[in-house]
Amino acid sequence: MTNDDPAPDAFLAACPSRHVMARLGEKWTMLVLVALENGSVRFGELHRKIEGVSQKMLTQTLRNLEQDGMVTREVFNEMPLRVEYALPPLGSGVLPLI
């Protein structure tokens, strides 16, 4: 932020913090972040842990969080293919707020 940039103000529609608040306010986001608190977890494990979430919604939530940098996705070239999700520092930093 330069001296010419206005101070962040969540009350303004154009404030970037609105995106963060919207993402954290989504139905499954907080549960996914907390489920990843103790380390890497495979998709199936997450799906079993978070009762009531459909595969489609879990996939969408993980993709959104990955796009925002709050979750990392690691693909292991094994048969069958193995994918694990984890919290990078940005995602871990949100946990105390939850």
pLDDT at 36 over 90: yes
Q: How far apart are CA 14 and CA 22, in angstroms?
A: 13
pLDDT at 3: 57
Domains of the chain: 17-97 (1.10.10.10)
Write out pLDDT tens, residues 38-96: 999 999 999 999 999 999 999 999 999 999 999 999 999 988 889 999 999 999 988 88
Torsion, Cα of 60, 64, 65, 66 (10° steps): 100
Global pTM value:
0.80
From 75, 68, 73, 74, select the one nearest 90 (Cα to Cα).
68
Burial zone of 20 (CB within 10 Å; 0-12 exposed, 13-18 middle, 19+ buried): middle
pLDDT at 62: 97
